[in-house]
Structure 1
Amino acid sequence: MKKLFFGLLLFAQVFTCWAQQNSVIKGTVIDSKTQRALQDVAATLQSVNLVVTTNPEGLFVFDNVAEGKHTVLISSAGYTPKTFDVEITKGQQLDLGTIVLQYDITSEQQLSLITLTENDLGDDNSGSENTAGLLQASRDAFQQTAAFNWGQARYRIRGLDNEYGVTMINGISMNKLYDGRPQWGNWGGLNDATRNQEFTMGSGTSDYTFGSILGTQEINTRASIFRPGTRISFAGTNTNYNWRAMATHASGMDKDGFAYVISASRRWANEGYFEGTDYGANSFFASVEKRFSDKHSLNFTSIYAQNSRGKNSPNTKEVTALAGEKYNSYWGYQNGQKRNSRDKDVEEPVFMLSHYWTISERTTLNTNVSYQFGKIGNSRIDYQNVDNPDPTYYRNLPSYYSSQFGDPLNTSELQPGGLGGHYIGNNESNKYLTDQTRERFLANKQIDWNGMYMANTNAVTDANNNEIGRTPGVSRYVLYEDRTDDKTWSANSILNSQLSDNIALNAGVTLKKLKSHNFQNLLDLLGGAYYNDIDPFYAGNQGQADLNNPNRQVGVGDTFGYNYNLTADYYDAFAQFKFSYNKVDFYAAGNYSRSDYQREGLYKNGIYANNSFGKSEKIDFNNYGVKGGLTYKLTGRHLLSVNGIYMTKAPTLRNTFPNARLNNTIVNDIDSENISSIDASYIIRTPKLKARLTGFYSKIDNATETSFFFAEGVVEGSGSDANAFIAETVTDISKKQMGLELGIEYQFSPSIKVTAAAAYGQYTYANNPNVSVNNDAFAALAEEVNVQPVPGQTAATDFGKASLKDYKLPGMPQQAYSIGIEYRDPKYWWIGANANFLASNYIDVSALLRTSNFLKDPETGYQFSEATDTRARQLLKQEKFEDFYLFNLTGGKSWKVGNSTLGFFASINNVFDVTYKTGGFEQGRNATYRQLNQDVSSGTPSFAPKYFYGYGRTFFVNLYINI
């Protein structure tokens, strides 16, 4: 008995000694409203990305914590997260005590709010998706304002396109290799499933990637970090869709180490805010995790988000004056139903397998493999040897008769005027034709689907020559889609290690492989029997889409027009060291990446017979980046932070092959972009006041951009062939972004909070870039006569420098200001209001118009005799859009019913129904001084700029229950 007693005493001493050696952090989490323990709340030890969850008593425990400084993040869906900065010594057992989580009304706003604008869903996917992504990513007052209140006006943080940010799911970048941008439609409608996010502003530190100058966004779908429960919601709105139903269930981790999350939603509208914009989307999500031990866990994530929506057209001032801001020329009635000719369809499922390995108390390794495949289709009408079916085609508008006739050299006739105000040439005749055309447009301002069906069929008549039916003939009109079928494999490993008490390491490697099939897919013969696979603008072999299979007759589901593959291989490695001390934290990071591109033509195009079929040369880009920064702690509540970065970035596939649809040409001397940026912030964090003032400067050099349009007067000395459909490539672009950001949040009382935000930027072109034009008509002419009409001109003609320096970067307000107030009642209802002023938004200018070609007569090669510098400056002045105010209201209420929460959220945006332009672009068709001067001077230009308009007054109401 004595031996047993002393044995137990010795064991207790050893155990006590061991426990003293074992450093621990623990705490208990409860709900502020019910004072009950919260189970499955995620507690994250951020230095090593180690996650544990609370047990049924609300307790979490980190064992074997390394010595040094740590940040503990306590987070759960629907609650305001809390962070704790702690310092652990050897053997210390730190109890954070009872941690009270409060219901987060902003979280409900984030889950409910409509964030996708027309710009976000555009063809090039270039808009404010990064702003939309901020909705669930940050507590920063400035970023919240940019997302909720300025996003509807296409505000871009720091004037940057979203290709300069990185969006990740479980550490794998979702930015497309084709254009560098994330395709937000790939996980649209899955707000509940993608709410676990981390965001890094600018070039600051990320634990998952080297990043870029706009920031990083990490979406975590690991099943065990979702709070258990079920959420069901139903919403109504009048924006891009009308109705949304959503349901999500998370199981939490069971005793056998399994956890799962499933989510599904549907969004739909027969017609959205703009005329004829139908919408239909179905989204599904599943995540399953198996925890094998404390060290190993495996998670499988699947995402399927199918989206189909009708687009709305940009319109000239003339068209808007005739038909209104909501007018959309892309649709028409067919059998009494509205049918849109320009649908965008996205269907690209993602499957991802993630392995989490806790190597030691100081080190974790996360490895992910993903496969994404599917299609993106953009439909439109094609036609052969018939009239353009677009009701806003310039010959169908009144301005055709008020601007296109008369003597262009007689400038006395070219007087400014309004709609129907002044006419050129024979005024009486033109006035009659203008008035007739106006009446005809107003009576037929939508696509005539029935007329196209009639054109595609042959009449069947009786003995008296009366029509008794119709039979299919050769289609003059068809509906097709520009299709992209991508297959992308990705793999990465991310290492996080606490090397010492003050030093942490983040490192990772990424591999990505893309095969992208691009082609025209015939969707609808519109009553016809077949369609000829030729280009009617060219004769003989030059009109053949594929010389290997000439004179094809194609039907529904067939590929025609163009057909090619793009392949890309991408490799990346980064390492980052973070140093943490009492008064200063700093970091340094570097990366290396390589991109390999190639085009493979599947058709032998008639114009480019020797440069279209088969594989192009392979082109590769080697890139690197370095960045660093520090945070100096003046006090615990006042901080100074500085970040700087220099990096190079490979051009995208889109900009490497300027005319990929038809040939293997690679942009001459194309090289990587050079990117540099610095920002400095003063940060205040007190119990009542939170504020950040940031100054930033960014420079992007050697950028490349490609666009497609019809232009006149672009081929010197070629007569009528001066007019052609062209691919314009602008190289060696330099852009400069500089400005200030201010965000302030002040809690006057537990119920009243005031926020203010301001952004002042100057975003400009910093040089005169070079313009080249890939002209199919000129290539055809050169091949036909077997000679170059002008020495040095080829299909890719160099037009020299474009005078763009100091022009403003387009498509976003460069100034934005907001003030808001929010009342939060103890009985769990709340209301908020925000007043916003947005200014300094500019049109997208045509680079081609600002080359020396603009003043040169294509017939003579000399400057137009009537051209003057003063008039040229007037014609080429960049348009600034009108400044405007937006007033927004939000509110909500929740009730606790047993263990469930029932509530609603509502918002009204643009309460006073302000009309404003969100963007626009100059039409490059009038590429010479004489043409543009005649068109503009009429007062009713046929090729005036086209504009996008924002939503007027819109509402959103969401009812939900959390079980």
Structure 2
Amino acid sequence: MRLSPALFILLIIDFTYGQFEEAVDDSVTLFNGTLGVLEANRSVIQNAQFDWSLGWFRLAGLTPRYKRYYLGMLSMNSAIEGAIDWNRWGGLNDLTRYPDQNEWRGSISYSGGIAGYSAIDPLNMQGLSPLRLTLSRANRSYRNRLMLTTTLQKEAFDGVLSVSHRGANEGYYNHTPYHSTSLFAQARFRKGSFRANGFLINTRTNRLSPEAHTEEVWRLTSPKFYSSWGYQNQDRIPFKQKDHRHLQLQSSLELSYNKGLFRMEGMSYRRSLARHNLSYSNAPSPYPTYYKYLPSYFQTQPFKKARLMGLLDLEGGINFERLYRANQESIEARYYLSSDNTIASENTLGFYWEHQEGLNRLSFRIQSQRENVQFFKQLEDLLGATYYLNYDAFNKVRYDLSSPLQKLEGEQIDYSYLIGGNKLFLGLNYQRRFPKWEFSYHFNYSNTQGRRKGLMKYEFEKNDKKVTSGSIGKHHEILFTVNLSPKHDLSFTGTHSQIPYPLHEHWLNPRVLSLVEVPASQVYRRLLLEYRYRYRLVSFDFYGFIGRQRHLFSRQHFYADADLWANLVTQTIYHPTADNKGWFSNITINLTPEIELSATGYGYMNRYRSLGEGSIHFLPTSSGVITPYSMELLSDKLAVASGPSNAFTIGVRYQHPQYWSFTLKAIGLGGTHLEPEWPKYNREFLEELERYTMAKPQQQQLKPLTTLHFLASKSWKTTFGYLQLFISANNILNRVQPIAGYGSSRLIAAKDYAQDLAQSVFSSKTWRSQGLTYFLNLSFKN
């Protein structure tokens, strides 16, 4: 594993945005202590992730699904959908600014995943000011933010109230409003060895997310282009909104004794998510970005013209008056507003015990989690029409065979089903300390049982028969830490993790209710080396890791032949083996008491080491037989799409004794690969495949991104308390370019394969980086 000097000698500051906010707040403490002396410098990785977030950076290529999240001592990860919804506590920055977390493993108090853990414990919250008021201004997702946090203490009782509002009529991208409110309220009792608390979190967020487009669309528009909006009577109508609502109630009881503690905790949680959108049926696409309305389509199809909607102004929005007229002039064509809805409830009960005997420390947790999630699509607005036609007039088939021919506003369409899951989670952590070294072992076990009822999108008929599925997850970690000298620490961590796929990905083909396939659990093995050096004004950290993943998996559903309803196809792709290795390093040098230089570098490589395996399942024939096909995918040596694989930060920080400071940082991101989109096969393709050569797909790599960040802070002590101003300017060079994306393809016949790959209209779709953004924050605390 070789280190590039250009990436290795790089800079990073000790303050991220949150740390700058607390520059004079010495009373704010981190939450629980963590395992091992190497944890003392954990903010180095957190700061780097903040700097590199412009390029959607993921450490070791891992998404949030591989990390365990805790609120109190309860794990928040969903048994059905995998990860958590970040909007669950969005905006409550005063309480969530300093989580106890590790990016690689668990601790004595918290069981981690392959991506570590992140924990916030309101029961042990300390150091909050009696009053903190924050006003912010930005040009990012929201424009304005107001936060108020207050505390009250009387003898053994204390309380915390925190409220936040973030809003914008238009965020960074054109026509993207943002509105979010959050509330946290806690009552706590502490007396002697006994502690108890109860708290409530209530959040609601309505927002729009950035969109991915082909390079052709970006070239014809602006860097702040957003296509999912329309207008009527001079009013703007953004129709691709996401409406999040969360309500969580939680309480805990903790009793400590001279060698440990016992804790019991319960939680009730309700959430909903509505993804709104403009849909169409028996009519041409209303979206100006539709590939048949773009110049590249007319260049390859010179005798075809744009249909009903015409060649539209890309940035002009969709004229809703034309949609109303189209609905009224036709008995079949329909444009309508719909929403894909998720309504979930969750109840969790957990027990935690921690004990220390001499140099040995042991903790054990058990958690029972019950979760139900209802998925359905709903008609919201028929845009002047009296009904929605549940029928494809062109192909002469119904969309939903179990519903009436006509649907009205407020009714459900396409799908409505419930997935329920019961999850038992066990965690065991052991630590043994010696004068010069330390040993730790972490073990997690999860058993998830799921059930499904109702109508999925492509089913023949509604069937209330329960279909069950289950999965087992196991996670082992062994840690050795050696104190070589007062200057040097060395650590080795071996991890073996069996990670089951979320229940929502278990059902093989939604049209066959009785057919359930449990995907083989991912298996992730990793060896991690950590080295830490501290001497006088120099600190150095190095992380090196090598690992292997097995059973990466993806699945999609599509029609093989549009005119035959029965020809729904499920295509499953397995990549048996992928190998990865990488490193992360930081060096910090304090040149003077005021000036600090630092550098951070990161290198990562993750490639498939075996041929992919494809499995295609056509729906049953009249005899009830499912026809499977298999194929071999030439995916070996392709890179696994996992964000930037190379990154660096170089910066300098100046801290004046009069409580003002500034930081200038140069960052670079590169090595971002996009996952190829495997073609969707029909029967003709499979039958004629032997006549054609399956070439390895071309994998796109995005060009590197380099830019500058600037941060500054000034604090004042007044008669009433502390006043602080924080300023952040990101991407000063205003670099706007692709940062992430995915392959784009359509259902193809074998003879069209090469031709389709050559058309730019079927090229990859990418998200682009935001240009110059700023954040101003003025806070008062006493």
If the length of structure 1 is used for normalisation, what is the TM-score? 0.74
Q: Indicate whether 1:673 and 2:522 are aligned.
A: yes
Q: Indicate whether 1:340 and 2:340 are aligned.
A: no
Q: CA RMSD in A?
A: 3.0
Q: Indicate whether 1:817 and 2:648 are aligned.
A: yes
How far apart, in 1, do the equivalents of 2:394 and 2:642 lie? Answer: 34
Which residue in the other structure is 2:503 paired with? Answer: 653
Could you tell me whether the CA contact under 8 Å between 1:276 and 1:310 is conserved in 2? Answer: no
Question: Which of 279, 285, 308 is the equivalent residue of 1:388?
Answer: 285
Closer, same or farther in 2 for the Cα pair 1:622/1:933, shift >3 Å? closer
**Cα deviations across residues 84-119 of structure 1 (Å, max 9, x unaligned)?**
xxxxxxxxxxxxxxxxxxx9886443689xxxxxxx
Pairs within 5 Å for 1:70-85:
none
Which residue in the other structure is 2:452 paired with? Answer: 599
Could you tell me whether the CA contact under 8 Å between 1:926 and 1:943 is conserved in 2? Answer: no
Q: Indicate whether 1:168 and 2:70 are aligned.
A: yes
Which residue in the other structure is 1:254 paired with? Answer: 154
How far apart, in 1, do the equivalents of 2:150 and 2:237 lie? Answer: 37
Question: Which of 481, 484, 491 is the equivalent residue of 1:641?
Answer: 491
**Cα deviations across residues 461-507 of structure 1 (Å, max 9, x unaligned)?**
xxxxxxxxxxxx888111111101000111111111112x2100111
* Higher mean C-alpha deviation, range 297-306 or range 443-452: 443-452
Opposite residue 355 of structure 1, the aligned amino acid is: L
Could you tell me whether the CA contact under 8 Å between 1:455 and 1:475 is conserved in 2? Answer: yes
Pairs within 5 Å for 1:185-224:
185-209=87-111, 211-222=112-123
Q: Secondary structure at the match of 1:455?
A: helix
Opposite residue 325 of structure 1, the aligned amino acid is: P
How far apart, in 1, do the equivalents of 2:725 and 2:81 lie? Answer: 38
Question: Which of 216, 223, 241 is the equivalent residue of 1:325?
Answer: 223
Q: Secondary structure at the match of 1:440?
A: coil
Could you tell me whether the CA contact under 8 Å between 1:206 and 1:216 is conserved in 2? Answer: no
Pairs within 5 Å for 1:127-276:
139-140=41-42, 142-209=44-111, 211-222=112-123, 225-251=126-152, 253-255=153-155, 257-276=156-175
Deviation at 1:598, TM superposition (A): 1.3
Deviation at 1:311, TM superposition (A): 2.9
Opposite residue 554 of structure 2, the aligned amino acid is: E
Pairs within 5 Å for 1:387-406:
387-404=284-301
Which residue in the other structure is 1:828 paired with? Answer: 659
Which residue in the other structure is 1:72 paired with? Answer: none
Deviation at 1:254, TM superposition (A): 2.3
Which residue in the other structure is 1:295 paired with? Answer: 193
Which residue in the other structure is 1:910 paired with? Answer: 731
Deviation at 1:608, TM superposition (A): 2.5
Q: Indicate whether 1:514 and 2:366 are aligned.
A: no
Could you tell me whether the CA contact under 8 Å between 1:245 and 1:267 is conserved in 2? Answer: yes
Pairs within 5 Å for 1:725-736:
728-731=571-574, 733-736=576-579
How far apart, in 1, do the equivalents of 2:386 and 2:22 lie? Answer: 48
Which residue in the other structure is 1:587 paired with? Answer: 440
Between 1 and 2, higher relative CO (CA 8 Å, sep ≥ 6) is seen in 2
Q: Indicate whether 1:578 and 2:431 are aligned.
A: yes
Closer, same or farther in 2 for the Cα pair 1:707/1:161, shift >3 Å? farther
Opposite residue 841 of structure 1, the aligned amino acid is: T
Closer, same or farther in 2 for the Cα pair 1:652/1:885, shift >3 Å? same
Opposite residue 330 of structure 1, the aligned amino acid is: S
Which residue in the other structure is 1:842 paired with? Answer: 673
Could you tell me whether the CA contact under 8 Å between 2:507 and 2:517 is conserved in 1? Answer: no
Opposite residue 593 of structure 1, the aligned amino acid is: S
Which residue in the other structure is 1:487 paired with? Answer: 345
How far apart, in 1, do the equivalents of 2:235 and 2:576 lie? Answer: 46
Pairs within 5 Å for 1:666-705:
666=515, 668=517, 670-705=519-554
Could you tell me whether the CA contact under 8 Å between 1:771 and 1:848 is conserved in 2? Answer: no
Structure 2: gaps (5+ residues):
1-13, 24-38
Closer, same or farther in 2 for the Cα pair 1:599/1:722, shift >3 Å? closer
Deviation at 1:374, TM superposition (A): 2.2
Question: Which of 700, 703, 713 is the equivalent residue of 1:892?
Answer: 713
Opposite residue 395 of structure 1, the aligned amino acid is: K
How far apart, in 2, do the equivalents of 1:818 and 1:929 lie? Answer: 47
**Cα deviations across residues 360-405 of structure 1 (Å, max 9, x unaligned)?**
1111012211111120111122222211112111221122222246
Closer, same or farther in 2 for the Cα pair 1:104/1:896, shift >3 Å? farther
Could you tell me whether the CA contact under 8 Å between 1:544 and 1:550 is conserved in 2? Answer: no
Deviation at 1:629, TM superposition (A): 0.8
Closer, same or farther in 2 for the Cα pair 1:663/1:391, shift >3 Å? farther
Which residue in the other structure is 2:20 paired with? Answer: 109
Deviation at 1:931, TM superposition (A): 2.5
Could you tell me whether the CA contact under 8 Å between 1:166 and 1:173 is conserved in 2? Answer: yes
How far apart, in 2, do the equivalents of 1:343 and 1:845 lie? Answer: 28
Percent identical residues = 22
How far apart, in 2, do the equivalents of 1:199 and 1:349 lie? Answer: 24
Closer, same or farther in 2 for the Cα pair 1:316/1:667, shift >3 Å? farther
Which residue in the other structure is 2:34 paired with? Answer: none
Q: Secondary structure at the match of 1:680?
A: strand
How far apart, in 2, do the equivalents of 1:506 and 1:443 lie? Answer: 59
Closer, same or farther in 2 for the Cα pair 1:206/1:859, shift >3 Å? closer
Q: Indicate whether 1:551 and 2:405 are aligned.
A: yes
Closer, same or farther in 2 for the Cα pair 1:721/1:952, shift >3 Å? farther
Opposite residue 554 of structure 1, the aligned amino acid is: L
Could you tell me whether the CA contact under 8 Å between 2:173 and 2:224 is conserved in 1? Answer: yes
How far apart, in 1, do the equivalents of 2:702 and 2:309 lie? Answer: 27
How far apart, in 2, do the equivalents of 1:447 and 1:607 lie? Answer: 33
Could you tell me whether the CA contact under 8 Å between 1:701 and 1:733 is conserved in 2? Answer: yes
**Cα deviations across residues 318-337 of structure 1 (Å, max 9, x unaligned)?**
11111133222211223323
Which residue in the other structure is 2:210 paired with? Answer: 312
How far apart, in 1, do the equivalents of 2:294 and 2:564 lie? Answer: 25
Q: Secondary structure at the match of 1:844?
A: coil
Opposite residue 740 of structure 1, the aligned amino acid is: W
Q: Secondary structure at the match of 1:731?
A: strand
- Give the number of aligned pairs: 754
Q: Indicate whether 1:374 and 2:201 are aligned.
A: no
Which residue in the other structure is 2:6 paired with? Answer: none
Deviation at 1:140, TM superposition (A): 3.3
Question: Which of 417, 421, 431 is the equivalent residue of 1:564?
Answer: 417
**Cα deviations across residues 659-709 of structure 1 (Å, max 9, x unaligned)?**
55x55365535332222111011111344222211111222212332345x
Opposite residue 194 of structure 1, the aligned amino acid is: T
How far apart, in 1, do the equivalents of 2:582 and 2:551 lie? Answer: 22
Q: Secondary structure at the match of 2:634?
A: coil
Which residue in the other structure is 1:739 paired with? Answer: 582
How far apart, in 1, do the equivalents of 2:350 and 2:433 lie? Answer: 27
Deviation at 1:354, TM superposition (A): 1.2
Q: Indicate whether 1:452 and 2:350 are aligned.
A: no
Closer, same or farther in 2 for the Cα pair 1:550/1:605, shift >3 Å? farther
Question: Which of 613, 636, 658 is the equivalent residue of 1:770?
Answer: 613
Structure 1: gaps (5+ residues):
1-102, 113-136, 406-428, 460-472
Which residue in the other structure is 1:861 paired with? Answer: 688
Could you tell me whether the CA contact under 8 Å between 1:674 and 1:702 is conserved in 2? Answer: yes
Closer, same or farther in 2 for the Cα pair 1:484/1:937, shift >3 Å? closer
How far apart, in 2, do the equivalents of 1:737 and 1:578 lie? Answer: 29
Could you tell me whether the CA contact under 8 Å between 2:169 and 2:177 is conserved in 1? Answer: yes
**Cα deviations across residues 542-600 of structure 1 (Å, max 9, x unaligned)?**
x26362x53353213x3222110001110011211101111001112223221101111
How far apart, in 2, do the equivalents of 1:175 and 1:827 lie? Answer: 44
How far apart, in 2, do the equivalents of 1:480 and 1:438 lie? Answer: 20
Could you tell me whether the CA contact under 8 Å between 2:644 and 2:671 is conserved in 1? Answer: yes
